[in-house]
A and B are shown apart, each in its own frame.
Chain A
Amino acid sequence: MIDLRNLIYIELYKLFSSTRTYVTFFIAIALMLIINLGMLMEGEKIFEFLLESISEYFIVDGEILNGYLVTYLAMNTLWVHIPVLIVIIAASIFAVEFEIGTIRLLLTQPISRGRLLQAKVLAMVVYNCVFMLLTVLAALIPAYLLFGTGDLVVFLDGVQFIQEETFLKRLVLSLIFATISMIAFSSLGMIFSLFFKNTLTSILLSMGVLILSTLLQKFVFGLFSAWQPFLFSYHFSKWQLFFMDVIPYHSILESAGFMLGMILILYLISYFKFKKMNITQ
């Protein structure tokens, strides 16, 4: 049977030959640059306002508004903006093949469906990694150039003070965790893509899940609190925990495990669905 490496190469070739891939990169980079520009123009005023509430308890010495803070703030686009862009690609990974009919071109070659699925999943993982890296660099580099470095002050379960020297390590760990989260979210997009064979439907369903999950996460009282551990957004929001004074690795690893489990389950469902699917059109 056909070499998996050849199939991965082909999937990556198709992915990076497609205009929409570069559109998502462009939008993500533009978003980061806009955030940097916004902070450059209005950042001082925003922080003066925010710091008013703690000024009676703390004497602030040094520059709070620095490149590391802007990078951290830019990463908050992980809540909605980044998943929206990523799912555009994930939701089309199968759907487009059905929509334009090339699924028949692929499956009439002597390749197993399992191998093809593996290749698409791995290509999607590569895309996520490239996307996340580009996005973070697009946030960090201009932020560093415009605002320099400094200690990080974060409002997260109180006020967290992160030393400048530890920021980059925390950023890398946070990036790895966020990438795993986005791969999990992409897996959802991909499985919708396989079931519905329509890009728009798959994108809308994925966004629906994200919106619902984020909304339900706000309901932390009574019966709703029992749902929390099963919500995607509950787990993926833990990228922020790398910016706590003491990083709660146990909680983060639990959520990483949830994400990886989600990826595995969605992969297995996709595998069995695709294996049995009749390609009639």
Chain B
Amino acid sequence: MQMLRVEELSLHYGGQRVLNNVSFSFEQGRITGLLGPNGAGKSSIFKVLAGLVRPDSGVVSKNGERLDDISDLRKSCSYMIDSPAFYPYLSGRQNLQLICKILGREKDLEKLMRLVGLDPFSKKRVKNYSTGMKQRLAIAQTMIHDVDLLLLDEPFNGLDPNGFQDLIALLRQLNEEGMTVVVSSHLLNELEQFADAFILLHDGSIALDISKQDLLKLKKKVSFVFDSTPPEDALKLISNFGSFEKGIQTAILNLEPHEIATTVERLVGLGAVPVNVETQNLLESKYLEITADLLD
């Protein structure tokens, strides 16, 4: 079921088109990754859905009901906008207390701070927080509100590897509890691991809108590295699926996942033993393919 549906969303800033009549939806109970190069329009989508920016046109529906005012979405949605900001002269805990007061909610803030790994710093003023700590605080503030949809813009920025893994674990946990999560990020490899669907934006338009299941069915880019030029028959086989770069003795082939093992066997049978086989991340290869095509 579609939790959120956005139709024909357009936006421009100062004469420049930022979103070009985009339509997409977020399925209930899924983690959706919103991808795209810088300036693609990812943050703009979040800002429109957060009511910070008014679009030129577009319709937003939540659970099938059209919203007369997009900013009404805030009643059932929590946001983390990129480069989160807090009151520097207040502590992390005091900032969260402010949000609790705004929402009229009581929340166990110690538990929340512990959940995001900030409990040792809860009384420290935010002006002394690192970027990663502010990111964690921003994530904590999204969990004060009782919502069913979480929109996170670049939540992994500034996080160390531990923080990164902790956040993924947290998002998975929230998702398992029924939360619909939308995350924008440049970290394609990582996003591919835990998201269920992907929307790729490029230059204000949707370039790809695909579920993980469908993505897995797509062909992968596989590179086979050889220590010398393969025999003629092997080169013919290679040319059926891709190309051979003589300078780096590497064959780059487009193969479906189930074809990789059999292709290795066939190459070995033809006397071409690869010294290394590398599979390019599906999402990354699709991303590069689409953005390169569009640039062309």
Q: Chain A interface (Cβ within 8 Å of chain B)?
A: 2-3, 6-7, 9-10, 13-14, 17-19, 100-102, 104-111, 276, 278-280
Contact = CB atoms under 8 A, between A and B. Distances in A.
Interface stretch (B29-37, B48-56, B116-124, B166-174): B48-56
A278 B85 contact: no
Given A107-B51, A108-B52, A102 B89 contact: no
Interface residues of B, number: 28
Contact of B75 (A101, A110, A276, A278): A110
B215 interface: no
Given A18-B89, A19-B89, A280 B13 contact: yes
B52 A13 contact: no
Given A2-B102, A278-B53, A17 B47 contact: no
A9 B98 CA distance: 9
B81 A108 contact: yes
B81 A102 contact: no
A49 B291 CA distance: 85
Contacts of A111: 102
Contacts, number: 74
A110 B53 CA distance: 15
Contacts of B13: 278, 280
B269 to A, nearest CB: 60
B104 A100 contact: no
Contacts of B26: none
A100 B90 CA distance: 13
Contacts of A6: 101-102, 104
B73 to A, nearest CB: 9
A190 B294 CA distance: 46
Main SS class of interface, B: loop
Given A7-B102, A10-B101, A108 B87 contact: no
B87 A102 contact: yes
A109 B52 contact: no
B52 A17 contact: no
Contacts of A107: 50-52
B216 interface: no
Contacts of B103: 2, 109-110
Given A100-B87, A107-B52, 10 more contacts: A2-B102, A101-B85, A105-B84, A105-B85, A105-B86, A105-B99, A108-B51, A109-B102, A110-B103, A278-B13
Contacts of B90: 14, 17
13 contacts: A7-B102, A14-B90, A17-B87, A17-B90, A17-B94, A101-B84, A104-B52, A105-B84, A107-B50, A108-B52, A276-B54, A278-B52, A279-B53
Contacts of B74: 108-110
Interface string B79-97: 1010111111110001000
Contact of B85 (A13, A18, A102): A102
